[in-house]
Amino acid sequence: MAFYFCINISRNIDPPYNTGNEGWVYNDNVNDPKIKKWLGEVVGREGEDLSRHDKWLCMMYPRLKLLQRLLADAGAIFISIDDAELANLRLICDEIFGANNFIDTVIWEKRYSPQNAVQWFSESHDFIIVYAKNKEQWHPNLLNRTDEMNARYRNLDNDPRGIWKPTDSTAQAGHGTDSQFYVLTAPNGKEHNLPNGRCWVYTKEVMNRMIAENRVWFGNSGNNMPAIKRFLSDVKKGMSCKTIWPYQEVGHNQEAKKEIKAIFPESIPFDTPKPTRLMERILHISTDPNSIILDSFAGSGTTAHAVLNMNKADGGNRKFILVEMLDYVENITAERMRRVIDGYGEGKAAEEGTGGSFGFYELGEPLLNTDQTLNERIPAEKIRQYVFFMETKQPMGAPSENEPYLLGCHINTAYYFYYDKDRITTLNYEFLSSVQTQAEGYVIYADLCALCDGELKQYGITFKKIPRDISRL
């Protein structure tokens, strides 16, 4: 897969939850009717398929491994899951991303009303686990401060430094030093004693300096217990994201279905969409205006919808890549993008389009067969383009008329792909005599190599074997 890396590439995936309702297609050796009956009666749903969790892990592992490789050094991955596979997912993510790169587990309140027709508990939440490629390099953005938070700040004394709120001037005594226990004298001469079990948050020297700077409030009368003035201009411009996301902030399942219904009024084409507000929360804390977002379980396309919404709101240039393998991708996922971009709805319910554009592509033939041989149905030119891009991360230029096996040059290195599907190719002196391009180094692909290590070193050649080294790209 060709992929353009930028400073911050984030991942969001919503894989199958493996609740037992998915239609997995695998061989099952536990076929005896009596065994199946016994497992179904004694073990229950787990007994229907003893390897159900193994299959899910086998499906997820290579995908997560690839996503880890694609992830930018300053990027993060968000994975939505429920209890069925949470523990297993944590284990394989610890192995792939490293336990030291685990960020946190978010609890998303996906339902706003209880379910009464349940056998045990009414399940109200899902999980979103977060890992970074490199925890030291990934730093989440702050959430916007709410009007309710800012309303707590006022300016009771017309302080020219702006609005502030009073905060406690005392702390638990167990954390204090001797210098934090004293009688505080207010500017009007009133003495203030500490409550039992408390100490002042500052030493006497620091507290007196703050009083002189009008950073301590004694009430309108000047006789109240002192409070520290915390100015809005001194606090963070936002707030740190908490690990519990209530539906009031990020939406719930019913909201997601209403969104889909508004886009597809003729029918609801997807049973389990995510609300765009949930995706927007993830994008807000994990991306910048120029990020690339990859969703490898695209579903109904909520991630792309959220990207378009955010670009429209802040003028950003975020890009999205969606990957989906099921057959609804054309009629649901891509169609949703078309309608969101163009606008949808009628009358008062009409939605203005977000603008933007996207391309829709179907994956072609695999480059390598299952036995790791080259797929001869792939045109040689496509293989050449793939090899050059994977080597250089640059598109291949026009073919050379004089050197048919030359792919191109990059950073003083010439790349050759000596391949012919009708015969075995060998890197030897006969081939070297055809090389006309002058470069500091050469990377040459061929089936075989007749030169020894010393000769390769003498000519500055790195030999790569077809197809072995293509599979390693």
CA torsion through residues 68, 71, 75, 79, sign: negative
pLDDT at 104: 96
pLDDT at 348: 47
Residues 364-387: tens digit of each pLDDT: 888 888 888 889 899 999 999 999
Across the beta sheet with 244-245, the strand order is 244-245, 102-109, 125-132, 76-81, 9-13, 292-295, 319-322
β-strand pairing of 198-200 with 191-192: unpaired
Q: What is the C-alpha to C-alpha distance for residues 385 and 171, in angstroms, rounded to an integer?
A: 66
- Residue 39, pLDDT above cutoff 60: no
pLDDT at 11: 54
Could you tell me the pLDDT band of residue 63, with boundaries at 50, 70 and 90? confident
pLDDT at 122: 84
pLDDT at 347: 52
Nearest Cα to Cα of residue 48 among 35, 58, 65: 35
Whole-Å CA distances, 339 to 178, 321, 333, 351: 68, 18, 10, 10
pLDDT at 356: 85
pLDDT at 26: 37
Q: What is the C-alpha to C-alpha distance for residues 271 and 254, in angstroms, rounded to an integer?
A: 11
pLDDT at 6: 34
Lowest mean pLDDT of 24-33, 49-58, 84-93, 103-112, name the range: 24-33
- Residue 52, pLDDT above cutoff 80: no
Could you tell me the pLDDT band of residue 37, with boundaries at 50, 70 and 90? low
pLDDT at 15: 63
Could you tell me the pLDDT band of residue 2, with boundaries at 50, 70 and 90? very low
**228 vs 115, which has greater pLDDT?**
228
Residues 312-363: tens digit of each pLDDT: 999 999 999 998 888 888 899 999 999 999 888 665 456 788 888 888 888 8
Residues 100-138: tens digit of each pLDDT: 999 999 999 999 888 877 788 888 999 999 999 999 999
- Residue 230, pLDDT above cutoff 90: yes
Find out whether 56 and 18 touch, Cβ atoms under 8 Å. Answer: yes
- Residue 427, pLDDT above cutoff 90: yes
pLDDT at 268: 83
- Residue 73, pLDDT above cutoff 60: yes
β-strand pairing of 198-200 with 461-465: unpaired
In terms of DSSP H, where are the helices of 214-301?
A: 247-250, 253-263, 276-286
Q: How much is the mean pLDDT over the chain? A: 86
- Residue 7, pLDDT above cutoff 50: no
pLDDT at 50: 57
Region 56-68 average pLDDT:
85
Region 64-88 average pLDDT:
90
Q: What is the C-alpha to C-alpha distance for residues 199 and 214, in angstroms, rounded to an integer?
A: 21
pLDDT at 46: 52
Residues 172-227: tens digit of each pLDDT: 988 889 999 999 999 999 999 999 999 999 999 999 999 999 999 999 889 999 99
Q: What is the pTM of this model?
A: 0.71
Lowest mean pLDDT of 155-164, 321-330, 443-452, name the range: 321-330
Could you tell me the pLDDT band of residue 151, with boundaries at 50, 70 and 90? confident
